[in-house]
Amino acid sequence: MTTDKPKKTVSWRKSIEGRRAIGIIITFALLVPLGVAFVLPFIVMVSTALKPLKQVFAFPPTLIPETVQWQNFPDGWYGYGYVDFTTCTWNSLKITVNNIIGNLVSCTLAAYAFARLKARGKNFFFAIVLATMLLPNEALVVPQYVLFSRFGWLDTHLPLMVPPWFGWPFFIFLLRQFFLTIPEELIDAAKIDGAGHVRILMQIFIPLSKPALATLAIFAFIGNWNNFFGPLLYLRTPNVQTLPVCLVQYQGAYGNTEWHLMMAVATITVIPVLLIFIFGQRYFVEGIATSGVKG
Amino acid sequence: MFRRIMRPISPSARREERIFYLFILPWLIGLILFNAGPVFGMLGLSFTDWRISLDDLQFIGLDNYSKLFADPIFWTSVGNTLYIVVGRVVFGVSFALLLAILLNQKVPGIAFFRAVYYLPTVTAGVAVALVWIWIFNPRLGILNHTLKQIGITGPPWIHSSTWVKPSLILMSMFSVGPIMIILLAGLQGVPKELYESAEIDGAGNWAKFRNVTLPMLSPVLFFVIIISVVSSFQNFTEIRVMTEGGPGESSNVMIWYLWKHAFVFLNLGVAAAVAWIMFVILMALTGLQFRLGRRWVYYEGEAR
């Protein structure tokens, strides 16, 4: 290890400004290529979506299509035998919107209770929230499948649309953390005015928590829109399928996948997520940071 | 303890308590119906031979487990899962840390880069998994084409049993967004004074990283490792879309093994046994996080 002894003549490289400039150059030398790598999958997707099939299989591969074939988008949307993407999109949208609302309602109630109400047994139940927070649904899929088949819910949207109304530990935790930061004085003032807990929640907590609620809505949107496991498991008939499942049906069983059309539809399905991400980026980053460290 | 519970409380406190339970009721019902119930049901199911219908349940004791442990493919799937877990922890977490350190630099345009680095995480799903099949294409894929430009003959990636797991790990490194952000928040939480006093002691960049950043970051790092282990068990989409457990059994992971037994071979008893094993592993990890990572959970909430 070298220790910098103060020298009489400081070279530019060692000077404070020089060091800072070199630091910035090194940082950008890493930031930019990595950034290119991170957007490359999208570029590949969009460029494939714009090529005629013959060009997709041309060697050597190119990123910029020689001829742009916009027709891939309508062809992909309507083109594949029994898969109708209009229906799939509608199904995905319906499930996603329902699940966002369900999650927001059920998690807000539980988070308020855990953040602001006193009750015996509260710590015990909160410990359960924390314990189940990291548990992925995949581990419970077998018994849940049995349960929902007993309910007669297979091949309907119910196994996907009902559970979100019963809370989600990760969201409850996130919202509770946010609710804890709302000043006690506001609640006391409302109580003096004779407000009950429902009114305090509706008139103070919800308006003040818009950023946190937006974060949850964005998380829920992306999670549900991209959900593949659940729909694949519970849905059979083509007309109840969601987008991700419709999309994999484009994969040809014998390697004769129409890549250009599949990538066109893939691009369309990714656009809503991209838009939500671009506009909600700030909420997103804050929400995740809260889950990890501040909490 | 009994006396404490029976302690008389005021009517207003009792009312508050009632509201508390009313508010957590949806979550509580969901917990019992969709989580706790299934978990115990799963344990019960794992001791039965369930093939066609639930009315035909036959208790077979530990048969499913002994069948499972005797199946070499099960052990392959455990080994493959472990391979991916280790790969994602070692490469994924260090890569995320590198990204977080870069994003913590004070240079212009950093918010833009943060968004770009996070992008592949939000779009992770079927669409992007399909793109990766194309990227990994040995002849026409952009990856091997780029490698060729610099004089390297690329491997066959997901089409080879030796390369398929490294391929999946490489792909997962593109969606380290959440852990990158958590690490970034952790880095920003390291008190500036510590760096200043280290500088006074003449510490260089590496010494500062080694002696200040890493120790201060350790609870966050620990949490992030747990998350990446847990998410390594959730890679169903990639496996289903990209490899279907192949070539051979080389990317058959536990969740894929479970899926095949449950919904392809229709042997839910064996699948329930696998699920129960996965559940125990995941709960043990959560428990570990709880015991060692208390700081992460309580810091802000309880301080008030």
Q: Do A135 and B282 touch (CB under 8 A)?
A: yes
**At B148, which CATH number?**
1.10.3720.10
**Closest of A182, A98, A166 to residue A132, by C-alpha:** A166
Query: Is A136 touching B (CB cutoff 8 A)?
Result: yes
Tens digits of residue pLDDT in B107-130: 888 888 888 888 888 887 888 888
Q: State the SS3 of A196-249.
A: CHHHHHHHHHHHHCHHHHHHHHHHHHHHHHHCCHHHHHHCCCHHHCCHHHHHHC
Please check whether residue B235 lies inside any domain of the structure.
yes
Domain over A81-294 is classified CATH 1.10.287.110: no
Q: Do B122 and A277 touch (CB under 8 A)?
A: yes
Query: Is B293 touching A (CB cutoff 8 A)?
Result: no
Counting residues of chain B whose pLDDT is more than 90, the rounded percentage is 14
Q: Do A143 and B263 touch (CB under 8 A)?
A: no
Do the beta carbons of residue A231 and residue A79 sit within 8 Å? Answer: no
- Supply the ipTM of this predicted assembly: 0.80
C-alpha B227/C-alpha A287 separation (Å) is 16
Interface probe with B: pick from A3, A269, A293, A294, most Cβ of B within 10 Å: A293
Please check whether residue B22 lies inside any domain of the structure.
no
Number of domains in chain B: 1
Please check whether residue B209 lies inside any domain of the structure.
yes
Tens digits of residue pLDDT in A130-177: 888 877 777 788 888 888 888 888 889 999 999 999 988 888 988 888
Query: Is A25 touching B (CB cutoff 8 A)?
Result: no
Please check whether residue B91 lies inside any domain of the structure.
yes
Q: Do A292 and B141 touch (CB under 8 A)?
A: no
What is the pLDDT, as a whole number, of residue A99?
94
Please check whether residue B196 lies inside any domain of the structure.
yes
Please check whether residue B174 lies inside any domain of the structure.
yes
Q: Using 50, 70 and 90 to split pLDDT, how confident is the model at A294?
A: very low
What is the pLDDT, as a whole number, of residue B125?
83
CA A63 from chain centre, in angstroms, equals 28
Q: Using 50, 70 and 90 to split pLDDT, how confident is the model at B84?
A: very high
All residues of chain B having their beta carbon less than 8 Å from the beta carbon of residue A250 are 130
Min Cα–Cα distance to chain B from A283, Å: 12
- Residue B16 has its nearest CB partner, among A118, A169, A263, at A118
Average pLDDT over residues A214-232: 88
Query: Is A73 touching B (CB cutoff 8 A)?
Result: no
User: Is the pTM higher than 0.80?
Assistant: yes
**Dihedral of alpha carbons A201, A203, A204, A205, sign:** positive
Average pLDDT over residues A44-66: 78
Residue A197: φ, ψ to 5°: -65, -35
Q: Do B142 and A44 touch (CB under 8 A)?
A: yes
Please check whether residue B258 lies inside any domain of the structure.
no
Query: Is A275 touching B (CB cutoff 8 A)?
Result: no
Please check whether residue B129 lies inside any domain of the structure.
yes
- Residue B145 has its nearest CB partner, among A4, A61, A289, at A61
All residues of chain B having their beta carbon less than 8 Å from the beta carbon of residue A44 are 131, 134-135, 142
Query: Is B290 touching A (CB cutoff 8 A)?
Result: yes
On the CB side of B205, how many CA atoms lie within 13 Å of its CA?
4
Q: Do A263 and B255 touch (CB under 8 A)?
A: no
Query: Is B222 touching A (CB cutoff 8 A)?
Result: no
**Domain that includes residue B156, residue range:** 78-247
